[in-house]
Structures are given as C-alpha cells and as structure tokens.
Amino acid sequence: MNKINLTTQRKAILEVVQHADDHPTAAHVIERLRDKGHHFAYGTVYNSLRYLTEAGLIRELKLGETASRYDARTEEHQHIVCTKCGNVDEVLTELPAEWLQRVAVETKYAIGQAKVVLEGVCEQCAKK
C-alpha cells in the first residue's frame, strides 16, 4: 500500500471537505479556503481533490450536475438531490439486494457497485 502524502494544502482541503455538511464543489472548497486565509492556486485545489479521492480519503460525487461534489463520508451510501434548490443529502438506507439481483438478471451485468441518485423536493422547498 502506498503511503499517503498529506501536504499542508491537502490537509487544509481535506479539513474543508470533512467539516462541510453540503457536499461542496471545488469552487465552494476554494471559497472556504479563502475565508480561512488560504490562497491556493485553482490547479492545486483540483489536483489535491483528485489525490484525496484516489487515496480514498474523500469521495467524488457526480450527481448529474456540471460540477463534481466532494464527500468525506467514504462508506457506501446514496444521495438525494432537491430539484428546486440543489441541496444534496445522504441516504443511508441500503439498496435492496433483490433489486440489484433483478438488475443483474435483466442486464446480464455482474454488478460491482451501485450508486443511485434520488431526486425530489426537500422539506424547506416543499414548505414554500
């Protein structure tokens, strides 16, 4: 196993993602770093996010949006996106094994992992 090399920049970026509750985009990470007095180059932030993802310290989420989001919760779970405000929440309910088996039979695929993105209207938007 390769040793993880956490530079000062990577540590700061990891900390931002770990303390975020909104699955930030790279632009959000850059904004929060600046709020903390860090001024890293865009390339440094993007490369660090890629490194942290490849090292398994964070997850990159592609939720059908133009920009990836990042999540410090690395164990298997799904996400739900509000179609009105774009808020992203975690779904910890496990996918039914029966559903995955039916998909495997239907498609003839050997399923290695499943990532499901649910869409709906969050509680705050539903009240408006």
Are residues 94 and 51 both part of a single domain? no
- In the 8-state DSSP scheme, what is residue 65? S
pTM of the prediction? Answer: 0.79
Are residues 115 and 91 both part of a single domain? yes
Q: Which of 71, 100, 118 is the last residue of a domain?
A: 71
Number of domains in the chain: 2
pLDDT in tens, 92-113: 998 999 999 999 999 999 998 8
pLDDT in tens, 64-89: 777 899 999 988 899 999 999 988 99
Are residues 12 and 67 both part of a single domain? yes
Q: Which domain holds residue 60?
A: 8-71
Are residues 12 and 63 both part of a single domain? yes
pLDDT score for 2: 67
Are residues 50 and 82 both part of a single domain? no
> Is residue 9 within 8 Å of residue 44, measured between CB atoms?
yes
> Is residue 65 within 8 Å of residue 83, measured between CB atoms?
no
Dist. CA 81–CA 63, nearest whole Å: 8
pLDDT in tens, 9-33: 999 999 999 999 889 999 999 999 9
- 82-111 residues labelled b (16+ CB within 10 A) or e (exposed): beeeebbbeeeeeeeeeeeeeeeeeeeeee
Are residues 65 and 32 both part of a single domain? yes
Q: Does position 44 have pLDDT exceeding 80, yes or no?
A: yes
> Is residue 67 within 8 Å of residue 25, measured between CB atoms?
yes
